[in-house]
């Protein structure tokens, strides 16, 4: 009996794994991306394909943990100060895009013969873009850390917040009474209290908890602690009527400055990858092919109309808020789709007798097909948008560059770093995102192309797959880390030489396995030390001895901190100064 029970569990698992193993390599080889591969595999094994799974909704609820874990990891990369700096984009651009698209889609839906209320509900669901699809596409293309990528993240965060008022509106629009009076102010107070409680826990409880687990020396305990934080935060937000993904994201933001951030991310990443794949599989399973077949004309026209109209709204808002035409097009292609929160809204609307079961199934099919079409739209955009010889504000972008070295970032650091290679006649491809600097460099005889090195397509266009050296000289540690991640994954033949902003960043780069890193102020500070020694009376040999001693102690401290004895902030400063003070015999 036990064996039969185990077999019953293993059979669907084997089917899922088999479909994934066959579909993902095939779709990636065709250049269609892994997301579309998961969708296709889900359709094949689902109840409307081979019928190996009969309850995709149950699996979808479980697989949403993948989205939760993904948002947690994104939160780990956004410190609170940076999130606060994004507030205008979240509540400004996000709100404007949501309201504009709801209005346009509602009018369009009424044109298909639906009532105002049904049209509003259908539009509200479709306007909430898929966090899972967009985040996966941004990460796959290396655009998460770019300014446009950050705007997309801000809009997605606002859309996650919108699920609460939209569910409240659906409850108010319901023609039937639940028999339980609602108190919107009480619900709002509970939500605010839950957020405040989570922020307080992140400020005073999480780091001490991980410190205790680290002292226990158990990797399993650290993994369990990381999952506890993610799932606990998600559960708290869910009980407060908010988004589980929002709870996980806030938990990640609270831990973004933790000493244990990288360890936590490493522990969560395997679960995130598996569950995200399962989520996309589940969405594919949920596509009701019977509805699509029986109402093919209506479904196809609805998908086309919804994506075009929403895309028009997204593009208009992007241009009104200062984005370039190119950036607006990229955002339009990513956001012209529905998302996973639509299923939540449509289910609530069905329970509230606003949507009939047939309408709920039809609208859900439109959302799923729009999610599946997004990777294809992104593929087409990447192929046809960057035309040869394209310029950005009159500055040329990279196209089929070839060079032994690729230098990313031609600011004050990159300009100096390039001199040795250029002086020896080494062919160097140089990219940067500062158009004024690029023009100034060209006036002095340097050829610099406009390109964001944290985007995979730009790295390919810049010749990264042929480069022997990749010099990362940008002044943004988040962008630098993302470039390193992309280079390690896609261009392993190249040696990575990276500019570190500070000691903490240098330790992160060592952990990422770069070939060489250096803090951008280290050598100038060392030369200042040497000159100060000479000015107080030491000769050149004695000054060099002091310098060598400082370098030696700095290397030892870096090795100790990189191996796990990492210090932060003032503790790090005090440690370095106290060490130097003791070595000098100070009291």
Spell out the SS3 assignment of 84-115. HHCHHHHHHHHHHHHHHHHHHHHHHHHHCCCC
Structure tokens at 478: 């988040």
* pLDDT interval class at 371 (50, 70, 90): confident
Residues 303, 219: Cα–Cα separation, whole Å: 47
Q: Which of 4-13, 209-218, 474-483 has the highest mean pLDDT?
A: 474-483
Residues 246, 52: Cα–Cα separation, whole Å: 33
* pLDDT interval class at 578 (50, 70, 90): very low
Tell me the average pLDDT across 518-526. Answer: 82
Total residue length of the chain? 587
pLDDT at 182: 52
Where do runs of H (alpha helix) occur along 336-476? 340-351, 357-384, 412-423, 435-443, 456-461
Structure tokens at 356: 């009939």
* pLDDT interval class at 378 (50, 70, 90): confident
Strand partners, 450: 432
Query: Considering the chain, what is the average pLDDT of its residues?
Result: 78
> What are the backbone angles phi and psi of residue 472, rounded to the nearest 5°?
-100, 105
pLDDT at 438: 86
The residue among 195, 194, 259, 254 whose CA lies nearest residue 229 is 254
pLDDT at 248: 78
pLDDT at 58: 66
172 CB-contact burial (10 Å; exposed 0-12 / middle 13-18 / buried 19+): exposed
Strand partners, 516: 497
Question: Considering just the CA atoms, what is the radius of gyration of the chain in Å?
Answer: 27
* Residue 427, CA distances (Å) to 150, 461, 488, 540 in order: 33, 16, 22, 37
pLDDT at 520: 82
* pLDDT interval class at 406 (50, 70, 90): very high
Tell me the average pLDDT across 312-317. Answer: 93
The residue among 147, 141, 154 whose CA lies nearest residue 386 is 141
Q: Which of 80-89, 92-101, 448-457, 548-557 has the highest mean pLDDT?
A: 92-101
* pLDDT interval class at 147 (50, 70, 90): low
Tell me the average pLDDT across 395-411. Answer: 84
* Segment among 382-396, 455-469, 565-579 with least mean pLDDT: 565-579
pLDDT at 306: 92
Q: Kindly tell me if the per-residue pLDDT of 4 is higher than 80.
A: no
The CATH architecture that domain 2-176+183-382 belongs to is Up-down Bundle (1.20)
Q: Kindly tell me if the per-residue pLDDT of 356 is higher than 90.
A: no
pLDDT at 235: 83
> What are the backbone angles phi and psi of residue 391, rounded to the nearest 5°?
-125, 155
Q: What is the share, in percent, of the chain residues with pLDDT greater than 90?
A: 11
Residues 171, 164: Cα–Cα separation, whole Å: 11
The angle at the Cα of 275, spanning 273 to 276, to the nearest 5 degrees, equals 65
Q: Kindly tell me if the per-residue pLDDT of 53 is higher than 60.
A: yes
- CB distance 129 to 159 below 8 Å: yes
pLDDT at 387: 44
Q: Kindly tell me if the per-residue pLDDT of 376 is higher than 70.
A: yes
> What's 498's DSSP letter?
E
The total of other beta-carbon atoms located within 10 Å of residue 274's CB is 15
Tell me the average pLDDT across 56-69. Answer: 68
Q: Kindly tell me if the per-residue pLDDT of 399 is higher than 60.
A: yes
Tell me the average pLDDT across 111-134. Answer: 88
* Residue 21, CA distances (Å) to 16, 26, 50, 585 in order: 9, 9, 17, 64
Tell me the average pLDDT across 240-264. Answer: 73
pLDDT at 169: 82
* Residue 54, CA distances (Å) to 27, 48, 176, 349, 433 in order: 25, 9, 31, 23, 50
Strand partners, 100: none
* pLDDT interval class at 522 (50, 70, 90): confident
Residues 83, 281: Cα–Cα separation, whole Å: 31
* pLDDT interval class at 388 (50, 70, 90): very low
Owner of token pair 């990891």: 73
Q: Are strands 469-472 and 405-408 parallel, antiparallel or unpaired?
A: parallel
Tell me the average pLDDT across 287-305. Answer: 84
- CB distance 137 to 152 below 8 Å: no
**C-alpha 64 chain-centroid distance:** 16
Q: List own/partner pairs for 323-331 with CB under 8 A and 24 or more apart.
A: 323/148, 323/151, 324/392, 326/385, 326/392, 327/148, 329/381, 329/385, 330/148, 330/381, 330/385, 331/148, 331/151, 331/152
pTM of the model: 0.60
pLDDT at 510: 84
Q: Kindly tell me if the per-residue pLDDT of 390 is higher than 60.
A: no
* pLDDT interval class at 141 (50, 70, 90): low
pLDDT at 504: 81
H-helix or E-strand containing 499? strand 495-500
* pLDDT interval class at 316 (50, 70, 90): very high
Q: Kindly tell me if the per-residue pLDDT of 287 is higher than 70.
A: yes
> What's 430's DSSP letter?
E
Tell me the average pLDDT across 173-198. Answer: 69
Full 3-state SS string of 1-24? CHHHHHHHHHHHHHHHHHHHHHHH
Residues 501, 519: Cα–Cα separation, whole Å: 6
pLDDT at 102: 93
396 CB-contact burial (10 Å; exposed 0-12 / middle 13-18 / buried 19+): middle
Tell me the average pLDDT across 290-309. Answer: 87
Tell me the average pLDDT across 266-294. Answer: 75
pLDDT at 495: 92
Q: Which of 243-252, 358-367, 382-391, 520-529 has the highest mean pLDDT?
A: 358-367
């Amino acid at each position: 009996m036990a064996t039969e029970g185990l077999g019953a569990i293993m059979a669907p698992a084997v089917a899922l794994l088999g479909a994934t193993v066959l579909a993902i390599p095939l779709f990636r080889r065709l250049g269609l991306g892994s997301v579309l591969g998961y969708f296709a595999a889900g359709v094949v094994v689902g109840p409307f394909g081979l019928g190996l799974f009969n309850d995709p909704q149950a699996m979808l609820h479980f697989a949403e943990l993948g989205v939760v874990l993904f948002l947690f990891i994104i939160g780990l990369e956004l410190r609170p100060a940076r999130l606060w700096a994004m507030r205008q984009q979240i509540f400004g651009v996000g709100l404007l895009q949501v309201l504009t698209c709801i209005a346009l889609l509602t009018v369009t839906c009424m044109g298909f013969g639906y009532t105002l209320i049904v049209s509003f509900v259908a539009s509200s669901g479709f306007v909430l873009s898929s966090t899972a699809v967009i985040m996966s596409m941004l990460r796959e293309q290396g655009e998460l850390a770019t300014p446009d990528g950050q705007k997309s993240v801000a809009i997605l965060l606002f859309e996650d917040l919108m699920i609460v008022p939209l569910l409240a509106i659906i409850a108010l629009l319901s023609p039937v009474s639940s028999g339980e009076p609602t108190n919107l102010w009480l619900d709002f107070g509970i939500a605010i209290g839950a957020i405040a409680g989570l922020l307080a826990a992140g400020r005073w409880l999480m780091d001490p908890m991980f410190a205790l687990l680290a002292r226990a020396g158990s990797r399993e305990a650290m993994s369990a602690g990381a999952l506890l934080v993610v799932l606990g935060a998600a559960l708290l937000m869910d009980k407060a009527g908010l988004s589980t993904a929002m709870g996980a994201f806030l938990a990640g933001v609270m831990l973004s400055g933790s000493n244990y951030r990288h360890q936590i991310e490493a522990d969560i990443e395997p679960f995130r990858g598996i569950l995200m794949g399962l989520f996309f599989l589940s969405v594919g399973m949920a596509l009701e092919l019977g509805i699509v077949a029986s109402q093919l004309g209506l479904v196809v026209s609805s998908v086309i109309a919804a994506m075009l109209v929403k895309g028009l709204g997204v593009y208009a808002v992007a241009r009104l808020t200062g984005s370039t035409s190119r950036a607006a097009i990229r955002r339009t292609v990513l956001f012209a789709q529905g998302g996973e929160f639509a299923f939540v809204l449509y289910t609530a609307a069905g329970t509230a007798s606003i949507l009939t079961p047939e309408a709920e199934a039809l609208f859900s099919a439109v959302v799923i097909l729009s999610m599946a079409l997004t990777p294809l739209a992104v593929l087409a955009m990447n192929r046809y948008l960057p035309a040869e010889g394209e310029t950005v504000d009159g500055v040329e972008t990279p196209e089929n560059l070839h060079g032994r070295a690729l230098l990313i970032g031609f600011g004050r650091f990159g300009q100096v770093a390039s001199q040795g290679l250029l002086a020896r006649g080494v062919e160097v491809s140089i990219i940067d995102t500062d158009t004024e600097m690029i023009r100034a460099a060209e006036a002095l005889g340097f050829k610099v192309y406009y390109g964001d090195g944290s985007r995979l397509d730009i790295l390919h266009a810049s010749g990264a797959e042929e480069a022997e050296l990749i010099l990362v000289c940008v002044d943004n540690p988040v962008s630098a880390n993302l470039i390193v991640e992309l280079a390690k994954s896609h261009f392993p033949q190249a040696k990575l030489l990276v500019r570190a902003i500070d000691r903490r960043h240098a330790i992160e780069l060592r952990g990422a396995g770069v070939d060489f890193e250096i803090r951008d102020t280290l050598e100038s500070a060392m030369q200042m030390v040497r000159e100060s020694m000479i000015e107080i009376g030491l000769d050149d040999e004695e000054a060099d001895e002091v310098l060598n001693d400082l370098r030696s102690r700095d290397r030892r401290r870096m090795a100790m901190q990189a191996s796990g004895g990492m210090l932060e902030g003032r503790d790090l400063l005090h440690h370095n100064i106290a060490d130097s003070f003791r070595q000098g015999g100070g009291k």
